[in-house]
Amino acid sequence: MKEFRAVVAASVGLHARPAALFSQAAKSSGNTVRLAKIVDGQIGARVDGASVLRVMTLGVKCGDEVVVTVEGESEEETIAKLKEIIESSDH
């Protein structure tokens, strides 16, 4: 299991298109992906990263920090894809 932190760059946060892109990448990876929002240095509830609805319920906005855990066969590849989605402002 590997974990990383990233700051959300999309102006809409992890809502609509960015959330869908994240969830699709998580689901297609075949790995278990969990996502949580960090508030005041505390990690909040972790949700299933493959569920667009669960990702959107976190209310992650632009500039918010998140923590993502990935467990499975291709962790490094999955991390690279997910990090790119989170840190991209092109959504």
Determine phi and psi for 40, rounding to 5 degrees.
50, 40
Active-site residue, selected from the candidate residues 8, 10, 15, 78: 15
Q: Tens digits of per-residue pLDDT, 54-90?
A: 999 999 999 999 999 999 999 999 999 999 999 998 8
pLDDT average, residue stretch 1-11: 97
* pLDDT given at position 61: 97
Asked if 15 is an active-site residue, the reply is: yes
Contact criterion met (CB below 8 Å) for 15 and 85: no
* pLDDT given at position 90: 83
Q: Tens digits of per-residue pLDDT, 15-62?
A: 999 999 999 999 999 999 999 999 999 999 999 999 999 999 999 999
CA distance 45 to 6: 16
Sequence ranges of the domains in the chain: 2-87
- State in words which class domain 2-87 has: alpha beta
